Each structure stands twice: as C-alpha cells, then as structure tokens.
A and B are shown apart, each in its own frame.
Chain A
Amino acid sequence: MTEKAIILALCLLYYFVPDAHCGIDRPRGVPASKASYYKPGETFKCITDGKTIPFEYINDDYCDCDDGSDEPGTSACPMMMFYCENKGHKPEYILSSRYNDGICDCCDGSDEFGGEKIQCQNFCEEIGRKDREDRERLILLQTEGFKVKLSYIQLGQSLQQEKKARLTEIASEKDTYEKLKTDLEAKKNEAEAPEKEAKEKHEKAWEEEKEKKKAVKERETALMAFDEIDANDDQHVEIHEMLLHPEFDIDSDGTVSHDEAKEYLEELERAGQDEFLEKIWPNIKEIFKSKKFSDDVKEVETTESTTEQKEPEVKPQPKRDNWAKHEYGDDDDEDEEEDDEELEDEDYDATTPPPPVEEVPEDKMPDYDEETQKLIDAAEQARNEFNDADRKVKDTENEINTVRQYLDIDFGPEFEYGSLKGQCFEMTDREYTYKLCPFDKASQRPKNGGSETSLGNWGHWSGSEADKYSAMKYEKGQNCWSGPDRSVEVILQCGTENLLLSASEPSRCEYRFDFATPARCIDPATLQPSPKDTHDEL
C-alpha cells in the first residue's frame, strides 16, 4: 500500500466528527456555533470569500478557500484556527499550523490526528480540575486581597482627604503667619530705629573717649622719650644728647653727626619740653629707640609672637589627591576607599592645633547704659518674634509643596496605592538586596555590604493602555557604564500582603521587579464565572 493510499484513508476520517453536545455532525475543527456553515451537501461555500467548492474538499488537506474555511481541521490553510472541544476543560482555538505537528496542544489531543508522530492523551479532566483549583485559589487570593484592598482604598482616600484638608488648613495657616510676619516686621522696624540711635550714641561717645585716651598715652610716651634723651636732666634736649642715640644716624656711617642730630632737632641747638612735643617728637617717634623701652618692647613682642602662634598657621586641608581617587574609582575599590579614609583621619589628628586661648581685649567698650540696653532688648525681642513668624511661613510653604506633590501622584483610580507611599519593601537574591519604595525609588545593594545603587526614581504608571495600573516605571537611576541610566519596570500582581517577589535584569541595566500587593486585587464579584459554568465556543 502506498503512502498516498494511507493519506486518502485518513482524509476520509477527517471529514466529520460526531458531536456529542448537539448531536449534529460537523467537520473536524469546527465549533458547534459554526456547524451551520458546514451542512452536508454537494458543495461548500467558503465563508467569507464566497467561492464555491465541492463539499468533499472540506478538510481534504488542501487549502481551496482564500479565507481557509474549507480546512478547519487540517494545517493546509495557515491562517485558520483549529477548534478543540476540550471536554472537561475549556474549549479553545489553536493555530491550524499547530494541527498535526507532533505536539499535543489541545488537552483532548484532537489536534494530533495523524497518529504517527505522537499519541496524545486526553487530559482535559485533569487540567480542567487543576485549572478550576487554580481558579479557586486565585479567587480566594483575590477575595482575601480585595478585603485588604478595601481598607487600602479607605486609607488612600482618607489620606487624600487628610492631605487635601491639610492643604486648606495649611494655606490658611500660611495666610495667618504671613499677616503676623508683616505685623511683626513693622514692629521690628519700629523697635530697631531707637535702638540704632541709642547704640550709635553710645558707640560715638566711646570712640571719643578712646581718642582722648590715645592722645594722653602719646604724650606720656613722648615725655618719657624726652626724659630719656635729656640725659643731663636740664629739661632741654640738646644736640650732644642726640649724638648718643645711634638711631639718628641718617647715612648709616656708624656715628651720629652733628648735622644729623641738628636736622632732627629742627635746626635748634636745644629744645624745651613744649618744643620737643610739638616739633621734634612727631619726626622722630618712628625711629626713636628707647633703651629702657627696648626691654619692654621685647617683652611685648614675645607676648605677641606667642599669641600669634596660638592661631593655627595652616588649616588642615583634605588631601585632594585622595578625594580625586574616590571620584574616579569605581565600585570595585571599596576596600581601598576605607583605607584612605583611615589615613586621612590620622593626618588630620596630627595637624589639629590646640584650641585657641580667648583674648581679653585691653580696651573694652563699657556696657550700654540702662536706657540703651532696654531699647536693645526690646528690638531683639521684636526680631526674634519676626524670625519666628518668618520660619513658620517657610515651614508652611514647604509643607504645602510636600502635600501638593503627594496629591499630584496618581495613586490609582480609587487611591488604593496611596498608603504604599512612605513604605519600602526588600528582597534578597544570591547577590543583591533589592529595595522598592513605591512612588519614591528603587535600589539595590550587594548582599555582603557595599553602597546602594539607585535603580530609578518614581516615573509613571507603565501598564498597557488597557491596564495602565499593572506596571510602574522607575527611571533615571544611576547611569550604567557605557550604557543607559538604570531603570525598573515593576510588574504588579494581586497578593494578600505587600511583597517584593523577585528582581531580575532582562536587559543590561533595565530591571524588572515583581511586586504583590492587595492594591492590585480585583473584586472577585467581577471575575468571570468558572469555565465549567459556561461553554462558550467563541
């Protein structure tokens, strides 16, 4: 027997299958709903293209109709769908290209008829049962999850209301504070004017007092110099006395000449105290060196230099090259970084100076008089009150922004995701701990320590058009070397509690999280009834 004969024999079997459901015979691969197109007769009319062919061409493994309707139960027409009845489970259509290809696609095995490649078992009952069980589990999950979701909705909505109420409240608070601020500013200005006047007066008086003191001191110094130069105590400074002071050696030849002395004496032979103070002292005070004073001066200098030393000469600088290294280093030299930090600490300690000693000023301005002090205290109080109000205005502005930002976020049609904001969820795999803070950010950090890497910040809902709330996108995370910014697609599913289920990186630096949350559950009442109840064939 030739192969051809076998095929012909098989073709005969192709034509009809008894349908237990309706008791009507119809060609293999045709659902009962379409049986009427295939009424036995002389000819068959292709369903959509209207071509007429002999009836025996149906399911003869040759595609005659452009719409493929003559081959519902073979793979001859590539665009056709094959109908499996799948009794015990749900019926389905498979691509006709999967008919007789050696793989059991339908649970009733009706897609594999040839019999040579494979013998299919009918396991519809089994998978039907499993499917129903799965479905029940799913409904149970949805039911449980939905209960939680209802509380989430309530929470989300009350959060919304709270925030909205808070926004109104805070706006009026802000108004109040602004008014208060304006008032207090006026009061402050009012109090500051007399304060300023009184302070200036007090300070001016002190300046004058200081000038006076300075003049007296200058005269004292001059008189001391006079006494010192006046070696013979005759109350006159004379040329021969000047010669004893080497600082008057203008040309630096080692001796003070008569002329040099005379020049300092303003061409006088001698000068009395008054003349000295008036004419001579101003010219020599810069060069005059007192022997007596010199000890004092030295003393002063020493004190001064010690004081200076107390000031740190060079402030410790952070070691730039180390920092630079940190900037260019990558994640891999974690250890090195720590070493550097330790080193720096040591460096710093070595150069840290002792704390500076407080200096007591020689001339301290006397305290304000009682009257002035009163004015100052009043102004200070006004200032504090104003600053308080100003801070409150700023605080309310900040809060308004925060609340507005919250209100701008799309927390789902019923605000069911609202309560997730502010929470974070983690999961750990072999290498990393992943963290999701909904509506905020996503990140990862190595399991065995190390710094956190941002995988993205809240972007937008990214589900399909039909189901926008099925996925979230977190974007603009840390940039990948020679690649994109990291980002995460979070796929949501129903769960009885919030749980970060898995994290993966399907493409480089494009992550995927699976996240279960009650917020994603749906009302079990809206779920399609169990397939056992209906036997829809389309």
Chain B
Amino acid sequence: MAMSTRCAIARSKMSLTKCFILLSYFICQLYAVQRDNFKTCEQSSFCKRQRAYQPAQSPYVALEDSLKITSNTIDIQLLNKDNNVRFLLTIFGLQDNMFRIKMNELSPIKERYEIPVGDALKEEPAQQKINFAGKDKDKFVIKMSNHKLLLSLSPFRIDAYTDETPVMSLNSQGLLKFEQMRIKPEAKPPADDSADENGEEANPQEAVENQEEKVKEEKKEDETGMWEETFKTFTDSKPHGPSSIGIDVSFPGFENVYGIPEHADTMALKTTKSTDPYRLFNLDVFEYDLYNPMALYGAVPLMYAHNEDRTVGIFWHNAAETWIDISSNTADKSVFSHIADFVKGNNEIPQTDTHWFSESGVIDVFLLLGPTPRDVFKQYSRLTGTTQLPPLYSLAYHQCRWNYNDQDDVKAVDANFDKFDIPFDVIWLDIEHTDGKKYFTWAHDKFPTPEEMIKNLSVKGRKLVTIVDPHLKREDGYSVYTDARDRGFLIKNKDGNDYEGWCWPGSSSWPDFTNPVVREWWADKFALSEYKGSTPDLIVWNDMNEPSVFNGPEITFHKDVKHYNNFENRDLHNIYGMYVHQATMEGLVKRSGGKERSFVLTRAFFAGSQRYSAVWTGDNIGEWSHLKVSIPMVLSLNLAGITFSGADVGGFFKNPDPELLTRWYQTGAFYPFFRAHAHLDTRRREPYLLPEENIKIVREALRLRYSLLPYYYTLFYQAEEDGLPIFRPLWVDYPKDKDVFKIDDQFLIGSSLLVKPVTDQGQTNVNVYFPGKDNVWYDIDTYQTYDGSMTINVPAPLDKIPVYQKGGSIIARKLRPRRSSSLMYQDPFTLIVCLDKQGKAEGELYVDDYHSFQYKNGDYIHRQFIFNKNTLSSKNIDPKGQFNTREWIEKIIIVGFPNEPKKITIANSSGENSRILGFQYNENNKSLTIRKPGDNIADIWTLVIV
C-alpha cells in the first residue's frame, strides 16, 4: 500500500491522535502534488553534476607501466590528468562469455562501498582464462575465445568485440567521471575551493573561453550540493562529501535497449534527450504516473541491447541511487554521435548510447556478450541466480484485499469461492490483521484463533499470507522492537541514535537488514514457536521495504542514516529491500528445517531478488491504462530475471467496473504471479460479486490458469536452470524479426503460448501479430489456425482471451477443475499436441511433489514428448529423476492432424503391452482426440497412428 492512503484511515477512525491528523494533512497533500515529493535530476546534485559533464576529451588515461597480467585478470592504473588522482582498473574474464570491469580509487581516504559477494551476485563469478595479446598501436588487446577487448590508453576507453564486430564501448563518449573521496575543505576563500575542484572538470586551457566561464559557474553551485544538499525541508548532511561515479556505455549497431526495471513505461526503453534520465531508486510512489522514467519500488541495473544479429547486456553492480541516460542516433535523429572509429565509415549504423551514474560505490560493470537472447539470460543468471522452483500453490490464484476484516470474513470469502465454484489457493491478510501494526502479532479481537482459521483453509489445500513489514513500532511492550533495540540491530541516524520515522504504526524504527546477523535474527522470528498463531501453512508478504518512511525525504530513509560497517544508506539504498525479503524467505525455509519450499512476496527489489521472492508492481490503479501498462512492466521484470512477477488484478486504487475487472482477470491469468488486490477504500470485488455473466467468464479464465499450471510449473523448473523469462517478449524467441522488437501488448508464455489480452474498454476485436515465418498458431479454444508473420484482426468479445498454441509444441494440461491446485495433484493430464507444418511437435513436462525440496534429491519426473511421423513418444530426458505419482494421461489431443486415422496403438518402450486406443476425429478443426491412454505420467511409451 502506498503511504498516502493513510489519509483515509486517519479520517475514518475517531480515536487517533493529533499527530496522525498532522501526518494525514501532510500526506493528503500528495493527492495534488505527488510528483513534487520526488527529486528530478536537477534537484539531485550528483545527477546534475554527472549529467552536465561533457568534457572535450576524457582526462582519464591508462598507465602502461602499471599493467599486471594474471591468467584470468588484468590490472592497470588509470590517472585523472586533471587532478592526478589514481585508480585501479581490473578486467576479469568470466565463464559464459562475460567480462567484468571494475574500477576503484587506488588509495581512497575512506573505503568505498562494494556489495558483498553472495548478495546481488549469488557467488564469486567463475573466471575464465583471458589472453593478453599485446599492444596494437596505442591499444592493449585482450582476448577471450571469440571475444576481445581493446583498451585505449589515452584517453582511456574500452571497446568490446565479438568476432571482430564491435558490440559495446566504455568511455567512448568520454563521460567517465569518478569523484574521489576527499577531506572537507575548511572554510577558505572561494578561489582556493575552486582550485581544489578544478580537477573535476575539463582542462580549462583546452576549453574555449565561454565554456570556461560556464564551468566556473557550475562549480559554485556544485559546492553547495557536494557537502550538503537540501530537498524540500530535508537536509542531507553528506559527511563524506561527493562520491559519485559515472561512465558511458555505447551499443554500436543497436537500436533497441530493454531492462532497468522498475518503471511504468514501455518495454523498449526510450531516449531521455527531452526527459529526466531513467532513475533507479527504490521508492514508495503514491498513484504512480505512467510512461515516464521516474523511479518506482525496485531496481535492477541490468540492460540488454538487441538487434537481428545479436543480444548483449550490461549489469551495473551498484546499489546506490542510479540514473541512466539513453540516446540513440536513430531515435534522436541528430548527427552528433561519434561512432567508434573502427566502424568502416558508415555513419548510418544505428547506435544507442547510455550514460550510467550512481551516487557512490565503485564502477563494477559486467559485459554480457550474448550473442543470443538465451545466452544473455543465462549469463545474467550465472551472476545473480535464478528463481527457485516455486511451490505449486504459489503459481495459482491469490485472493487479497486490504483487508479481510476478521476470521468470519476469511471464512466467508473461502466459502463463497467454493459456493461459486471458483478456484483459489491463497487468501491474504493485510496490515489490519495485526495488533496495532505490530507485525508477528494478531488483532486478537478479530483473529482470536488464527491456527483454527488457517486449518479451515489448509484442509482444502489453501494457504494464508500475512503481511510483515520491516518497520517496527517503537513501543516498549513490543518484543520484536525491544529485542532489536537492545541488541543494537536498529538503523542509526547520522548522530548514532536509533533512527526514527513514521510508518503505519506511527513512530517506527527499522532493523538493519544489511547486517547478516540481523537477517538471521529476523529469520528466526518466523519460527512457529516465535510467531504465535502461525502454522506451516502461513506464508509472508513484505511490503513497504524500499523502505517507505512517511516523513522521510522522498518518503524513504534519510541518505545519511548509518548501516552495518558504517556505510550510509546513500551507498546501498537499492539493496535494502532485498535483504528484508531474503531474511524473510530464509526464515520460512528454516521453519520447516529446510524441507519445504516457501513463498514471499516483496514490493522492493534489487538484482538477485529473484532468488528469494516474487515481486508485484506495487500500488497500481483500477483503470484501463494501468491494465495496459502492466504488460510491459511484467515483461521488463521478466527480462531482468524477476520471472515470478505480476500486477495487482483489478488495480489497487479505485473501483474497476465489471468489464475492466473481467479483462484484468483474463490478462492476470497469465501473469506468473497472479493476485487480485484492492484498497481499503474500494468496494468489495471478489470475483463472485460480479454480475453472473462476468462470474462465468472470470471462472473460465481462472480455470484456464489452473489447467495450465503443469505448463507454468515446467517453465519455472526450466527457468531455474536457464534463467529464461516465463512471461516473455516476442523478440526473445524471434530475435531476427524486427517487427516484434517493440511489441509489448502481447507476449509469450514460455515458447508455446502467444497471448494478446484485450486491454481497451469496449474492444471486441484485436490485432494479433503471429510471429515466425514458418509457424502456424492454433487458437486454444477452437483450434483455428493462423500463419506466422501475419497480423490478423481476430474477434475478442468479452468472453474471449486471444491465446494461441504454437504449431510444433506439446503442452500438458490438467483439465479437471478443482477448488485449489493441491487438490489437483493426482489428476490426469491431457496432452495437447499442436503440429507444425511438417507434422512435428515436441514439449516437456516436469512433475514432482509440488512443495518440498525433495526434487533437489532427484524426486521428480522430467519427460519429453515428441511427435514425428505419426508417432508420439514419451522420453525420459533426465534419468537422474525418479518419482512415484498417480498422475496419468487421460487424453491426447492432436491438432492439425490432416485426416481421420484408421487405428491407434500404444505400447511401452520395449514394444510390449500393446493396446488399441479409441479416438475421435473432428474434420472441421482437424483435431484428433485419443481416448484414455491411461499410462502413468512416469511411463515411457510410444503411440502409433496408422
């Protein structure tokens, strides 16, 4: 929930204190002026300095004599000629076609923050041998298989090549600017100050006169922002002065760049020539605006560049506030861009230039060299990890509301879903379930017997989520708080006292989750003996973990608050939220003795968050525009490794009408994380409250999702290994089709399903682009066919979701509707075999116990189904896995089968136990339904059609 909803609460409860009134007054201001609560680049002194930096030539040079070569790394010193500050640059060769380039001050007067290994990076990245191939003119040549780096000495720059094609350049625009740590100058005459700062700027002798004047002018402003900065009524004390870093990264030959969530924007990133840069700074933004580069709740500093020939990426390993400027010689239509001099005089080659700058830390850049989309996802997942296979229930439907008022309410909602035969797996309790917003407690009058309430759910295989936010009410009787306080686990303000801010409970403090000991302490709070009223069927939601501080600058921490090891929030702001949900997930897993997979939802996130939690796109609005933007937002999250993500169905704020809510369910049924949620002030909107006709449609959408759970589960299993997006942009599977590069209103689920939800009011037809020149796509309801590389206008009345299965794919579905996913676990599969133009198809199915870590010990079944030459066979593609299940195959539907067969037989792998199967052929849609093969899903068999 956004903080600003506090107004409503303060107004409705009569017993709140005057402080709340003041607070609500302050917050209510946001309704009109919310943008003013957040900084523009102009209002952030480092952003302004970095963005304005345009030297005639980069003053940074590499010092040839300092070169040190080891088998996997190369060290070289850099010198800023303007101020004689030295830096150490290290180049690492990494496995899976990656380079890492790290740059820090050679001898900083104060240690600069680096994210500990194991946090964003899941481990120390495995290194790869690189060859130092000597010097070519004034460039060092560093080779790694078919890739090479050219390191120019003066001015310093790096160009990356794959097979002699330039793919990325660093500092080719000369925007490298590394502000060294320094002693705060004593109050001296201004002339001395400016001499001290001179080094930061271009050499005045080389600059023209008017430029020099401009530089001086800027410098004066800079001084105020460097050692203290004021935004609105908040002063940032900046005890360590300026420390920002920045460098440009160019992508020669690339027009499209993607990634750097979270922004409410298109999937293909836009030029920032006429806007602020894209900002990465985890913030609680009330009723966020659409299609702009403002920061939102989470940050993944990862960008991909893609063209018909290749995909590359850059991972900016820095947790401080970061801004990214993007310009493109095609999008900006200006002839400014000085393309790398090795490009053979062809100025028409598209190029995207990006400029990254962060407030502190070091430059630590990973070059992901692809060359295919699948390669870059794998590369990124080698660095930051992938999403662990979620327990099946968490992929099903979640029913949330702020708030289900009491136990009876929970019981009634649960009963109504069954009454209306609508499936759901998880019901959620928002902040009102606690005693005075003290997490880990219950409002006993409303929830007197939580265990009993949970049991009532769990007998139907359902779960309960409670919200646990990181702000702790400062109340002497609240043991979580006093415990943290007494152990010194709370974050400190700049003076060394416990930091205090306002959040839901009023006056609050925050544990310092950046400290591993604090994370362990927090994790233990989830033990069943500690968290009274919890059971193994209770799971957790971390909200407000950016963190949201109602009375803080930009509604978050002051930048000068102090964390573990004496670092400031300035250094690590964007990773704080991840530590919160990481500790929560670790607690939940620990709770079961490490046996059970669990589930946590988080709002704030960082690179690596995918290893622990699902993410949702925060407090959206029940409007059509927010339904539409949810698709690019979830696509961008998926590209950045956060595959388990979704938007609140229905929109958090405001009341969606039945049409919008129905369409949102149809879209949401495909989000990897599928939850409906609603604000306290909204009308009830559980699906059974819709008009009868809409209930029917929503029920069908939910059943479709449940029938596809085996497919989603299999995709998540595969993605745990390969890091591929689940909710996938078309370009990932059709990288050579230029027409799909910017499509973000339709998407793929895995490779086999194409979805184009209706996201416009009153719309009953949509244009669907069917990718793949040789492809054929089948409507999943009618089996009507559509040829690839075509845009077709298809009817989409309210009860229709345009969803297509790819010819050439096989999807295993469970078509028997049940009340929850866990009640489906013994149900039989139906294989839907959609043939391609060659009459072939294949697909995979992964099966295990759907909830434990036993699959890590080999308790699973991974099968491949292959259809070729009228023979369908199952194949054990992972003999390491073995698992006993009662799941069996009840039906096989082969779509695109040309004519009625004579006979169908099935036999086991050795050709024994042959049986004849019944079938039905539908001439109209060319579908062949094979009756009851009956084989257990673990069996290996071959089916022959004659």
Q: Which of A200-208, A227-235, A326-334 contacts B (4 or more CB under 8 A)?
A: A326-334
Which residues of B in the span 12-26 have a Cβ within 8 Å of any Cβ on A?
Answer: 12, 14-18, 20-21
Q: Which of A129-137, A261-269, A372-380, A506-514 contacts B (4 or more CB under 8 A)?
A: A506-514
Contact in complex: A3, B18 (CB < 8 Å) = no
Q: Which residues of B contact A330 (CB under 8 A)?
A: 11, 21
A517 interfacial contact with B, CB 8 Å? no
Cβ-neighbour of B14 out of A97, A332, A480 (below 8 A)? A332
B936 interfacial contact with A, CB 8 Å? yes
Q: Which residues of B contact A522 (CB under 8 A)?
A: none
**What per-residue 1/0 map shows which CB atoms of A479-513 lie under 8 Å from chain B?**
01111000000000000000000001111101000
Q: Which residues of B contact A450 (CB under 8 A)?
A: 14
Question: In the complex where A75-B816, A97-B421, A332-B16 touch, is A508 in contact with B680 (Cβ < 8 A)?
Answer: yes
Contact in complex: B684, A506 (CB < 8 Å) = yes
Which residues of B in the span 300-354 have a Cβ within 8 Å of any Cβ on A?
Answer: none
A430 interfacial contact with B, CB 8 Å? yes
Q: Which residues of B contact A483 (CB under 8 A)?
A: 8, 681
Contact in complex: A332, B20 (CB < 8 Å) = yes
Q: Which residues of B contact A508 (CB under 8 A)?
A: 8, 12, 680-683
**What per-residue 1/0 map shows which CB atoms of A1-20 lie under 8 Å from chain B?**
01110111000000000000
CB nearest to A11 among chain B residues: B934
B221 interfacial contact with A, CB 8 Å? no
Contact in complex: B823, A103 (CB < 8 Å) = yes
**What per-residue 1/0 map shows which CB atoms of B818-839 lie under 8 Å from chain A?**
1100011011100000000000
**What per-residue 1/0 map shows which CB atoms of B284-301 lie under 8 Å from chain A?**
000000000000000000
Question: In the complex where A4-B939, A102-B461 touch, is A333 in contact with B18 (Cβ < 8 A)?
Answer: yes
- Per the bound structure, the CA–CA distance linking A333 and B20 in Å amounts to 11
Contact in complex: A446, B14 (CB < 8 Å) = yes
**What per-residue 1/0 map shows which CB atoms of B446-464 lie under 8 Å from chain A?**
0000000000000111000
Contact in complex: A62, B14 (CB < 8 Å) = no
Contact in complex: B888, A7 (CB < 8 Å) = yes
- Per the bound structure, the CA–CA distance linking A114 and B886 in Å amounts to 11
B615 interfacial contact with A, CB 8 Å? no
| A contact patch SS | loop
- Per the bound structure, the CA–CA distance linking A450 and B815 in Å amounts to 57
- Per the bound structure, the CA–CA distance linking A381 and B815 in Å amounts to 94
Contact in complex: A62, B11 (CB < 8 Å) = no
B890 interfacial contact with A, CB 8 Å? yes
Question: In the complex where A4-B936, A102-B461, A102-B823 touch, is A62 in contact with B890 (Cβ < 8 A)?
Answer: yes
Q: Which residues of B contact A430 (CB under 8 A)?
A: 445
A116 interfacial contact with B, CB 8 Å? yes
Cβ-neighbour of A504 out of B7, B12, B405 (below 8 A)? B405
Q: Which residues of A contact B18 (CB under 8 A)?
A: 332-333
Which residues of A in the span 370-414 have a Cβ within 8 Å of any Cβ on B?
Answer: none
Q: Which residues of B contact A101 (CB under 8 A)?
A: 818-819, 823-824
Contact in complex: A481, B11 (CB < 8 Å) = yes
Contact in complex: B826, A116 (CB < 8 Å) = yes
**What per-residue 1/0 map shows which CB atoms of B915-939 lie under 8 Å from chain A?**
0000000000000000110111011
- Per the bound structure, the CA–CA distance linking A431 and B405 in Å amounts to 14
Which residues of B in the span 239-259 have a Cβ within 8 Å of any Cβ on A?
Answer: none
Tell me how many residues of A have a C-beta within 8 Å of chain B.
Answer: 43
Q: Which residues of A contact B21 (CB under 8 A)?
A: 330, 332-333
B772 interfacial contact with A, CB 8 Å? no
B10 interfacial contact with A, CB 8 Å? yes
- Per the bound structure, the CA–CA distance linking A8 and B915 in Å amounts to 14
A60 interfacial contact with B, CB 8 Å? yes
A246 interfacial contact with B, CB 8 Å? no
Chain A: minimal CB distance from B648 (Å): 17
- Per the bound structure, the CA–CA distance linking A102 and B822 in Å amounts to 9
Q: Which residues of A contact B677 (CB under 8 A)?
A: none
- Per the bound structure, the CA–CA distance linking A114 and B827 in Å amounts to 12
A78 interfacial contact with B, CB 8 Å? yes
Question: In the complex where A114-B826, A117-B826 touch, is A103 in contact with B15 (Cβ < 8 A)?
Answer: no
Contact in complex: B888, A103 (CB < 8 Å) = no
Which residues of B in the span 514-564 have a Cβ within 8 Å of any Cβ on A?
Answer: none
B409 interfacial contact with A, CB 8 Å? yes
Chain A: minimal CB distance from B402 (Å): 10
B658 interfacial contact with A, CB 8 Å? no
B891 interfacial contact with A, CB 8 Å? yes
A144 interfacial contact with B, CB 8 Å? no
Chain B: minimal CB distance from A508 (Å): 5
A138 interfacial contact with B, CB 8 Å? no
Q: Which residues of B contact A117 (CB under 8 A)?
A: 826
Contact in complex: A103, B459 (CB < 8 Å) = yes
Q: Which residues of A contact B818 (CB under 8 A)?
A: 97, 101
Q: Which residues of A contact B936 (CB under 8 A)?
A: 2-4
Question: In the complex where A95-B421, A330-B21 touch, is A103 in contact with B460 (Cβ < 8 A)?
Answer: yes
Chain B: minimal CB distance from A470 (Å): 17
- Per the bound structure, the CA–CA distance linking A98 and B10 in Å amounts to 45
- Indicate the member of A3, A430, A506 with the most B CB atoms within 10 Å: A3
Cβ-neighbour of A97 out of B461, B680, B683, B816 (below 8 A)? B816
Q: Which residues of B contact A510 (CB under 8 A)?
A: 683-684
Chain A: minimal CB distance from B822 (Å): 8
Chain B: minimal CB distance from A412 (Å): 28
B881 interfacial contact with A, CB 8 Å? no
- Per the bound structure, the CA–CA distance linking A103 and B828 in Å amounts to 18
Q: Which residues of A contact B826 (CB under 8 A)?
A: 100, 114, 116-117
Contact in complex: A78, B816 (CB < 8 Å) = yes
Q: Which residues of B contact A98 (CB under 8 A)?
A: 819
Contact in complex: A61, B14 (CB < 8 Å) = no
- Per the bound structure, the CA–CA distance linking A333 and B816 in Å amounts to 58
B817 interfacial contact with A, CB 8 Å? yes
Q: Which residues of A contact B890 (CB under 8 A)?
A: 61-62, 76
Q: Which residues of B contact A333 (CB under 8 A)?
A: 18, 21
Contact in complex: B931, A506 (CB < 8 Å) = no
CB nearest to B680 among chain A residues: A508
CB nearest to B934 among chain A residues: A4
Which residues of B in the span 436-450 have a Cβ within 8 Å of any Cβ on A?
Answer: 445
Q: Which residues of A contact B11 (CB under 8 A)?
A: 330-331, 481
Question: In the complex where A116-B826, A333-B21, A507-B682 touch, is A3 in contact with B888 (Cβ < 8 A)?
Answer: yes
Contact in complex: A4, B935 (CB < 8 Å) = yes
Chain A: minimal CB distance from B882 (Å): 14
Contact in complex: A4, B816 (CB < 8 Å) = no
Chain B: minimal CB distance from A217 (Å): 70
Chain B: minimal CB distance from A236 (Å): 88
Q: Which residues of B contact A505 (CB under 8 A)?
A: 405
Q: Which residues of A contact B828 (CB under 8 A)?
A: 61
16 contacts between A and B (CB under 8 A): A4-B939, A7-B886, A61-B932, A64-B931, A78-B815, A78-B816, A95-B421, A97-B421, A101-B823, A116-B826, A116-B886, A117-B826, A332-B17, A450-B14, A480-B681, A508-B8
Binding site for A on B (CB under 8 A): 7-8, 10-12, 14-18, 20-21, 405, 409, 421, 445, 459-461, 680-684, 815-819, 823-824, 826-828, 884-886, 888, 890-891, 931-932, 934-936, 938-939
The 4 closest A-B pairs by CB, nearest first: A481-B11, A3-B936, A101-B823, A62-B932
Extra inter-chain contacts (11) besides given A97-B819, A100-B826, CB under 8 Å = A3-B884, A4-B935, A75-B816, A101-B819, A101-B824, A102-B461, A331-B14, A448-B15, A507-B683, A508-B680, A508-B683
